[in-house]
C-alpha cells in the first residue's frame, strides 16, 4: 500500500515541476488543446448525425410501430454516442502524446536533467519520424489491450450488484494502468525500454502505477482538465520512470523557473556543452 502513496506523490511532483517552469508548461498545453478541438468536433458531429446514421443502419425497423421504433433507435443512438465518448477517453492521451511528441520529449528530457544528480538525460538518438512511428505503433498495441479490458468490463457491468459496484472501481484501476503506461513511455522509449519490457515492469509495481494513474484518470473525467494536467502528468511520469528503473532522483528540484530556463537555454544554445559533447550516461541507440 505504501507504493500507492509514492505513485500519487510523483503525480503531485510533476504538477509542481511544471508550475515552476512556466515556459515548459505553456508549450506542453499546445498538443492537448489541438486534440481537444479535434475530439469536440468529432463528438458534435456524432451528436448531430448519429440519429441519422442509426436510422440508415437499421432499415429493418422502418415498419415497426410507435413507440418501439423510437425507443429502439434512441437506445442505439445513445449507445453509439457513449461508445464514441469512451473511445475518446481511451485514446485522448495517446493521440495527444503523438501530436505533441516533440513537445513532450523536450519536457521529459528537461525533467530528467533537472532531477539527475549529474544534470544529464538519456537520448534515443533516433530521428523524429522513427520516434513517431514507434510511439504510434506502441499506442495502438496499448489501445488494443485497453479495448479488450473495456469490452470485458462492459459485459460484467450487466451482472447485478457487482456490475454497479466492483466493476466501475476495476475500470478506474485499469484506466490508470494504461494511462500511466502511455505517459511514462515518453521517458522509457528514450531509454530503449520496449513495450513488452515496459508492461512487465509496470506489472511488477502495480500499486505504484495505480497510485499515479488512477487519480489522474479520475481527474481526466472532468471536462478540459486533461488538457491542463497533461504537461505535469508527463513530468510526473518521467519521475516515475526513474523510480521504476532505480535511477537516482535529486530531491532539490532545481532553481526557480527563470533561472533554470535561462541556464538550459545557454546550455542548449552552446552546442558544445559538456552534456552534449561528453555523451550522456544511459544514452541508447536503437
pLDDT at position 217 is: 87
> In total, how many domains does the chain have?
1
Please identify which residue in the block is written with the cell numbers 544534470. Answer: 119
Radius of gyration of the chain from its Cα atoms, rounded to whole angstroms? 22
Domain for residue 91, yes or no? no
Q: How confident is the model at residue 110 (pLDDT cuts 50, 70, 90)?
A: very high
Can you give the pTM of this predicted structure? 0.72
- Choose from 5-14, 58-67, 146-155 the range with maximum mean pLDDT: 5-14
Q: CA–CA separation, 13 vs 232, rounded Å? A: 8
Dump pLDDT digits (tens) for 213-232. 999 988 887 767 888 999 99
Within a domain: 9: yes
- The reply to whether 230 falls in a domain is yes
Q: What are phi and psi of 157, to 5 degrees?
A: -65, -20
Domain region containing 13: 2-32+100-115+129-251
Q: Does residue 80 fall inside a structural domain?
A: no
Asked whether residue 260 is assigned to any structural domain, the reply reads no
How far, in Å, are 45, 65, 86 from residue 72 at the CA level? 21, 11, 21
Q: What percent of the chain has pLDDT over 70?
A: 86
The 10s digit of each residue's pLDDT in 236-264 is: 999 999 999 988 887 654 433 444 444 44
Structure confidence by residue, pLDDT tens digits, 162-180: 777 888 888 889 989 998 9
Q: What's the mean pLDDT when you consider all of the chain?
A: 80
16 part of a folded domain: yes
Amino acid at each position: 500500500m505504501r507504493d500507492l502513496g509514492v505513485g500519487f506523490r510523483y503525480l503531485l511532483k510533476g504538477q509542481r515541476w511544471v508550475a515552476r517552469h512556466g515556459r515548459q508548461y505553456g508549450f506542453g498545453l499546445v498538443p492537448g488543446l489541438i486534440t481537444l478541438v479535434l475530439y469536440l468536433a468529432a463528438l458534435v458531429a456524432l451528436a448531430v448525425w448519429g440519429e441519422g446514421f442509426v436510422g440508415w443502419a437499421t432499415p429493418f425497423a422502418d415498419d415497426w410501430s410507435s413507440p418501439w421504433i423510437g425507443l429502439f433507435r434512441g437506445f442505439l443512438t445513445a449507445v453509439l454516442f457513449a461508445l464514441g465518448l469512451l473511445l475518446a477517453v481511451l485514446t485522448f492521451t495517446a493521440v495527444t502524446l503523438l501530436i505533441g511528441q516533440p513537445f513532450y520529449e523536450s519536457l521529459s528530457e528537461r525533467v530528467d536533467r533537472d532531477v539527475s544528480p549529474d544534470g544529464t538525460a538519456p537520448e534515443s538518438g533516433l530521428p523524429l519520424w522513427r520516434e513517431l512511428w514507434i510511439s504510434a505503433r506502441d499506442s495502438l498495441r496499448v489501445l488494443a489491450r485497453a479495448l479488450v479490458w473495456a469490452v470485458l468490463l462492459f459485459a460484467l457491468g450487466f451482472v447485478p450488484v457487482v456490475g454497479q459496484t466492483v466493476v466501475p472501481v476495476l475500470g478506474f484501476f485499469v484506466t490508470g494502468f494504461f494511462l500511466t503506461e502511455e505517459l511514462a513511455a515518453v521517458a522509457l522509449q528514450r531509454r530503449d525500454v520496449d513495450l513488452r519490457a515496459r508492461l512487465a515492469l509496470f506489472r511488477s509495481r502495480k500499486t505504484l502505477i495505480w497510485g499515479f494513474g488512477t487519480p489522474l484518470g479520475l481527474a481526466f473525467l472532468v471536462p478540459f482538465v486533461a488538457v491542463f494536467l497533461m504537461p505535469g502528468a508527463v513530468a510526473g511520469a518521467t519521475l516515475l520512470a526513474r523510480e521504476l528503473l532505480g535511477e537516482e532522483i535529486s530531491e532539490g528540484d532545481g532553481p526557480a523557473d527563470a533561472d533554470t530556463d535561462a541556464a538550459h537555454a545557454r546550455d542548449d544554445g552552446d552546442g558544445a556543452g559538456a552534456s552534449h559533447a561528453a555523451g550522456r550516461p544511459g544514452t541508447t541507440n536503437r
